[in-house]
């Protein structure tokens, strides 16, 4: 697609695209599984609130207020803090014309507004997107990725990341991860309140609350964490599929995945450890020498599963 076509389409539709649907193809199977996972996370949250009311009695409004404040802070600032932590530096079209051109082409294909574009100065070959909405979105690639990928491969990676923006995955994952914040706040307030009441002898059940609520909080956090990781893997498969169908070049995305994953072993361990805390944001996880603890804890599906899905899509498009 030519740059002129991208510009003309963007100029005629900028006013309407920000609130409309993009051309990314939805995957009903993956969507159903993501909805089910979100339902289970929400069910756990209801159980947590119920336990707050039962065990903490007069203290539960304080817990809810603290949890609400934490949620607001996480919702509005988590993506900015992540971008800052990963060293994202916003660049103008004059500073990175090829990158901006690739983003323009993908946005024209997807019929969605162009996000802010950033570059992170690191040799770790990767990319990520953040933002609560299309209006606040930012897509960032590393200098290591730009050096290694061909133009078609780069567009495949950008299409994957912009799929996260189009499907509002950042909002979904923020809400899902909020359960862990609530569980942690529960444990702390229960301990403080329980010890306080127990020390004054006002509540015979304080000792039980001190012991039981933190245990329940830990269990709920663990289950919520595993469900959130499952949801993260679903969204990565969904973004791969949407990007492959949008660009019509699943083989280019597969080549990019293979390159990025294969070259992680050549990156210094220090750089990988610095990138690893943000694995949930990255196009492909950055593993240090410690590696992943297992498939249940992984933020991304295994490489062979992603490549198998792309191979099936390529076969269907070929027919």
Percentage of the chain lying above the pLDDT 70 cut: 62
- With a CB cutoff of 8 Å and minimum separation 6, the contacts of 270 are none
- Its sign, for the CA torsion 214, 216, 222, 228, is negative
Q: What is the mean pLDDT of residues 29-49?
A: 68
Residue-wise pLDDT tens digits, 63-93: 667 667 766 776 677 667 777 777 889 999 9
**Residue 201 confidence (pLDDT) above 50:** no
Q: Please give the Cα distance from 131 to 113 (Å, whole number).
A: 13
- pLDDT number for residue 9: 37
Secondary structure class of 203 (helix, strand, coil): coil
The residues annotated with a catalytic role in the active site are 161
The residues pairing with 282 across neighbouring beta strands, listed in sequence order, are 128
Q: How confident is the model at residue 237 (pLDDT cuts 50, 70, 90)?
A: very high
Q: Are strands 138-142 and 116-120 parallel, antiparallel or unpaired?
A: parallel
pTM: 0.74
**Residue 233 confidence (pLDDT) above 50:** yes
- Where do the structural domains in the chain lie, given as residue ranges? 48-318
Q: How confident is the model at residue 42 (pLDDT cuts 50, 70, 90)?
A: low
The residues pairing with 142 across neighbouring beta strands, listed in sequence order, are 120
What is the widest separation between alpha-carbon atoms in the chain? 76
């Amino acid at each position: 697609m030519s740059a002129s076509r991208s510009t003309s389409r963007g100029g005629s539709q900028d006013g309407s695209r920000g609130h409309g649907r993009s051309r990314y193809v939805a995957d009903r199977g993956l969507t159903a599984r993501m909805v089910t996972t979100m339902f289970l996370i929400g069910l756990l949250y209801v159980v947590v609130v119920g336990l707050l009311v039962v065990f903490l009695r007069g203290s539960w409004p304080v817990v809810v207020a603290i949890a609400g404040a934490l949620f607001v802070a996480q919702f509005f600032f988590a993506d900015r803090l992540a971008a800052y932590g990963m060293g994202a530096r916003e660049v103008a079209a004059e500073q990175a014309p090829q990158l901006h051109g690739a983003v323009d082409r993908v946005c024209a294909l997807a019929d969605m507004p162009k996000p802010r574009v950033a570059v992170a100065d690191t040799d770790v070959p990767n990319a990520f997107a953040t933002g609560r909405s299309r209006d606040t979105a930012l897509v960032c690639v590393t200098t290591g990725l730009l050096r290694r990928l061909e133009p078609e491969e780069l567009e495949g990676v950008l299409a994957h990341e912009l799929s996260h923006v189009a499907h509002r995955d950042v909002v979904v994952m923020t809400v899902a991860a909020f359960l862990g914040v609530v569980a942690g706040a529960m444990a702390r307030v229960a301990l403080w309140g329980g010890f306080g009441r127990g020390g004054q002898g006002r509540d015979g059940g304080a000792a039980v609350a001190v012991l039981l609520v933190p245990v329940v909080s830990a269990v709920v956090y663990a289950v919520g964490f595993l469900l959130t990781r499952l949801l993260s893997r679903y969204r990565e498969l969904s973004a791969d599929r949407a990007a492959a169908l949008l660009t019509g070049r699943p083989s280019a995305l597969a080549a990019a995945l293979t390159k990025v994953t294969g070259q992680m072993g050549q990156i210094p361990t220090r750089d990988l450890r610095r990138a690893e805390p943000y694995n949930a944001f990255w196009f492909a996880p950055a593993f240090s020498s410690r590696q992943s603890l297992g498939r249940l804890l992984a933020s991304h599906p295994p490489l062979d599963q992603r490549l198998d899905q792309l191979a099936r899509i390529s076969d269907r498009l070929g027919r």
